[in-house]
Structure 1
Amino acid sequence: MESVNAAIIYYSATGSVYTLARAAAEGAEKAGAVVRLRKVAEPTVPDSLDGTPARERHLQDAAEVVEAAVDDLAWADVVLFGTPTRYGNPASQLRAFIENTGSLGRAGGLADKVYSAFTSSNSAHGGQESTILALSNTFYHWGGIIVPPGYTDPVHFAAGNPYGTSHVAGDGPPGDVILEAARHQARRAVTTAIALKAGRAGSP
């Protein structure tokens, strides 16, 4: 079986997206990928959540996670992005990381990779789908191959979002169903990347 490289790149303010990212990393590894779990750099300006217990606890929990670099995108065959929903859009911290990929993108280094995305918002209708669609706009520009979870596993009927795993943070930490949805989404993205790599290797 072909081996692929998977980068799970996320920004998390209070830990929900971090928890989803860890589950996605588990799913990607079980599907046969070499995985890099990477966090986007923390903002240098004060955040409205600074000093809150959830924020401080998350910073401690994720202290050992390596910060994402553009080289992680160059290395990866499949990339899953995780972000909080901010007014129906990805968090500015993740956008800032993405906007530093211009040189790699112009050189074609972001094309033909598999991309997928997951998110968390405070409420059930807080812009989860529009956040994932906004990230898809970037994947289009990169020439990426977008692989959503769809309704390809019963867990996504329970989790409720075929666009990408989506958690309602106002209901508490991600539970078993949401975490399994994140694992399945990553497995699906990785198995697609494996099939693409094998197909390219076998083409004349």
Structure 2
Amino acid sequence: MTAVNVAIIYYSATGTVHALAKAAAEGAEKAGATVRLRKVRETAPPQAVNSNPAWAQHLKDTADIEEVTLDDLSWADAVLFGTPTRFGNVASQLKAFIDTTGGLWQQGGLTGRVLSAFTASGTPHGGQESTILALSNTFYHWGGIIVPPGYTDPIQFRTGNPYGTSHVAGSGAPGEDVLAAARHQARRVVDVTTALKAGRRAA
């Protein structure tokens, strides 16, 4: 079997996207991939973080998770990015990391990566699809191969987002259907990446 390296890179303020990232890691590992779960650095000022007890607590709870570096992108055959919505767009913390990838991109170091995205918003129409589409703009520039979950599993008809797994954080923590969708999305990424690597090797 073709070995696949998957990086799951995310930003989470209060834990929702973190939960989706962990489920995606489980799905990728179950599909046989080697996985790196990486958070991006928190760039918000301490006074902003401390103004929200859940935000401050989540920062403490995830202190043991490694922060992403460019090496994680170089290592990965496939990357799943997770971000909460920020006015229908990517969180600045994740965007700050993406903005450091210019040198790697110029060297062709991001070409041909399999890429996918997941998100969460505070309300049902809080910009989930537009946030994933905004991330796709970066993927196009990188020359990536975008793999959405689509409607490729019955779970997608229950969670309802073919663009990428998403959750309404205002309704509480992600339930089992949403977590199952994240696992499915990651498995699909691994399956496509495995086939792509095998095809390249045979060419």
TM-score by length of 1: 0.97
In structure 1, the partner of 2:119 is: 119
Secondary structure at 1:9's aligned position in 2?
strand
Unaligned runs of 5+ in 1: none
- Cα shift at 1:59: 1.4
1:142-199 Cα offsets, whole Å, 9 max, x none, are 0000000000011111111000000100000011000000000000011100000000
In structure 1, the partner of 2:154 is: 154
In structure 2, the partner of 1:2 is: 2
2:165–2:185 Cα contact (<8 Å) kept: yes
Secondary structure at 1:64's aligned position in 2?
coil
* 1:1-204 equivalences in 2 (<5 Å): 1-43=1-43, 45-46=45-46, 48-203=48-203
Q: CA, structure 1 residues 47+132, in 2 after alignment: closer, same or farther (shift >3 Å)? A: farther
CA distance in 2, matches of 1:201, 1:64: 37
Matched AA of 1:104:
L
- Runs of 4+ in structure 1 deviating by more than 3 angstroms, as ranges, are 46-49
Matched AA of 2:128:
Q
2:7–2:37 Cα contact (<8 Å) kept: yes
1:65-120 Cα offsets, whole Å, 9 max, x none, are 00000110000000000000000001001000000000100000101010000000
- Cα shift at 1:60: 2.3
1:24-63 Cα offsets, whole Å, 9 max, x none, are 0000101111000000001153464434221122112211
Unaligned runs of 5+ in 2: none
CA distance in 2, matches of 1:58, 1:45: 15
Secondary structure at 1:20's aligned position in 2?
helix
Seq. identity, %? 67
CA distance in 2, matches of 1:47, 1:28: 36
Secondary structure at 1:7's aligned position in 2?
strand
CA distance in 1, matches of 2:44, 2:94: 13
CA distance in 1, matches of 2:90, 2:116: 13
CA distance in 2, matches of 1:194, 1:136: 21
TM-score by length of 2: 0.97
CA distance in 2, matches of 1:34, 1:173: 27
Q: Count residues in correspondence.
A: 203
CA distance in 1, matches of 2:140, 2:9: 18
Q: CA, structure 1 residues 44+87, in 2 after alignment: closer, same or farther (shift >3 Å)? A: closer
